[in-house]
Structure 1
């Protein structure tokens, strides 16, 4: 029960109102040390409840009587608009019985409207790094009194090229503050560098290894001959699999639009989401999917983070992601909170090596699947057959009927050596191979003419 945590009674009331019964493992591990004021570095898989694991301790620290707001007291940085919007809703739900107010800063919204909101000075500011820096440079922000800094999906922010932005924003928080860093993967050297610069004596909590994906999610691969074959497979899966909602990931916006057009033509209730869509369309796509007006979402990796949609139980990788971490975030959309899900990756000739490297990274073997009606010619790389004569084996001696050894072949006659020319050998410009001399054409003069 959440009552085991030393949370303010108004926060516990909100938790009860939201029907949160038992805390998840990440909440059990992270909330107590966060309440003590420790800096945390937490690795927890997508869908594990980590948002509540940092929001509740953060709000508990900010609790108090209503006072005029003169400073931003908590800052939450996230990589995508969708994740930021979702986190804002969580903060508002948990703080519904308090005086704490929150605000949102992301790209795609009116800059002047956001500036007006900042003048009201929210207690909690939730933002994506790029747009937040624009407001900082415009003189609209002051982080001098920030008490809690949260970096959620820190590995993704680095992948998206926000490392310098995050470092600068963290550096603007001058006052001694608590920093909570969460991610779904362990990340690489860049993340370790960030941890060393923004965290002070952190407690490291690793709730899962990268291979420990959602237990209820089956992972399959289906081989495909080409892009059109993949489109046929997607259509077959959407027609024959049992699912409430599905998301299909592509690596490019062009392919996402093309696939979306095909599905709409086949009368699927679909929507498309990628970076070229404006904020209004992106919001509409997410809302339609959540409310059930859309059953299928075609998206690029812009939607791989921050999507928490109930009933999303089918994920299709039209294209394989470029890394094991990105694969984890994609299929983490399904099988959430103990539910069941299916993740199918379509593998063409150019995808096989990438798929194999992701298997090795996750230390897993994906289930191979064949759809009889659409079985293609490509079934993975061909195995190289060993030659009939193994290298290093001794040849059997051939003997005649009389038992004598068969006579060896006579050595081939050598051609008489050609007389050496007095002219120097021609050599290619790279000095590696000799060039052949051309025969002079009929009637041609000598080289000296």
Structure 2
């Protein structure tokens, strides 16, 4: 029960109102040290309750009687607009019985309206690095009174090229008393560098390892001959699988638009989401999916982080992501909060090695699946057999080499065994 934590009674009232009962593992691990004021570096799977794990201790620290607001007291940095909007809603839900006010700063919104809002100095500011820096450079934003800094999905922010922006914003919060860094993956050298610069004597919590990130989701691959074949497979899957809501991921905006167009032509209730869409369209697409006005979202990786959509139980990777971390985040949109999910990746000839590296990264092997009515000619790498002439030539070379090395007055060395092509055969997958 959440009553095990030393949280303010107004926060416990909100938790009860929201029907939160048992805390998740990451909340059990992170909330007590966060309440004690420790800097934290937390790795936990998507859908594990990370947001509440930092929002509740943050609100507990800031809670108090109503008073005029003069400074921003907490800053929450996130990589995408959609994740920032979702986090703001969570903050407002948990703060509903307090006097704490939060505000949102992301791209795609009116700059002057945001500047006016910043003059009111909300207690908590939620935002993306790029737009926050624009306001900082324009003189609209003062962060010198920030007490708590939260970096959520920190690895993704760095992957998106925000390293310098994040460092600059952290530097503006020089007087902070606590820093909390959360991510779903362990990240790389860039993340370790940021951790070394912005965290002070942090407590490292790894609630889930990478191999557990998709434990509730079945993972399958279907081989395809080319892009047009993939389109046929997507259409078949969306017409024949049992699901409530689905996301189809592509690597490019152009392909997202193409797949979306085909689905609409087939009278599917679908929306498309990518970086070329303005903020109004992006909000509308997500809200329609959440409310059930659409069953399918076609998206680039802008939708791979943080989106929590109830009933999303099917993810299709039209294009395979470029890394194991991105695969984890895409698949993490389904199988959330203990629910079951299905993730299907469509694999062409050029995708096989990348798919194999993702399997090794996750220490898992994906289920191979065939749709008989759409089975193509490509089914994965095959063993290469050398011709008889080539095999004979190889054999002669081996014999000649062995004979040359044999010492005088001794029996000839035994002929070594060689495969037809001199190479170890590829293992079956």
- TM-score scaled to structure 2, two decimals? 0.91
Q: 1:151-166 counterparts in 2 under 5 A? A: 151-166=151-166
Number of the residue aligned with 1:39 = 39
Number of the residue aligned with 2:412 = none
Contact 2:75 2:148 in 1 (8 A): yes
| 3-state SS in 2 of match to 1:191 | helix
The CA deviation at 1:176 is: 3.8
Number of the residue aligned with 1:220 = 220
Q: Does 1:380 align with 2:365?
A: no
How far apart, CA to CA, are the structure 2 residues paired with 1:383 and 1:83? 45
Number of the residue aligned with 1:206 = 206
Number of the residue aligned with 2:236 = 236
Contact 1:108 1:278 in 2 (8 A): yes
| 3-state SS in 1 of match to 2:212 | coil
How far apart, CA to CA, are the structure 2 residues paired with 1:128 and 1:335? 27
| 3-state SS in 2 of match to 1:72 | coil
How far apart, CA to CA, are the structure 2 residues paired with 1:383 and 1:235? 32
RMSD: 1.2
How far apart, CA to CA, are the structure 2 residues paired with 1:305 and 1:352? 24
Number of the residue aligned with 1:400 = none
The CA deviation at 1:306 is: 2.1
Contact 1:106 1:131 in 2 (8 A): yes
Q: How many residues align?
A: 395
Number of the residue aligned with 1:284 = 284
The CA deviation at 1:313 is: 0.1
How far apart, CA to CA, are the structure 1 residues paired with 2:180 and 2:305? 18
Number of the residue aligned with 1:66 = 66
Number of the residue aligned with 2:193 = 193
- TM-score scaled to structure 1, two decimals? 0.87
Number of the residue aligned with 1:309 = 309
How far apart, CA to CA, are the structure 2 residues paired with 1:140 and 1:26? 36
How far apart, CA to CA, are the structure 2 residues paired with 1:33 and 1:275? 37
| 3-state SS in 1 of match to 2:350 | coil
Deviations 1:204-245 (A, max 9, x none): 000111111232200000000011100000010011110000
The CA deviation at 1:386 is: 6.4
Deviations 1:124-182 (A, max 9, x none): 00000000000000111111111100000000000000000000000001214200000
Q: Does 1:55 align with 2:55?
A: yes
Number of the residue aligned with 2:97 = 97
Number of the residue aligned with 1:261 = 261
Contact 2:348 2:378 in 1 (8 A): yes
Rg bigger for which structure? 1
Q: 1:254-403 counterparts in 2 under 5 A? A: 254-385=254-385, 391=395
Contact 2:14 2:93 in 1 (8 A): yes
Gaps of 5+ in 1: 396-449
Gaps of 5+ in 2: 401-429
The CA deviation at 1:384 is: 2.2
Q: Which has the higher helix share?
A: 2
The CA deviation at 1:252 is: 0.5
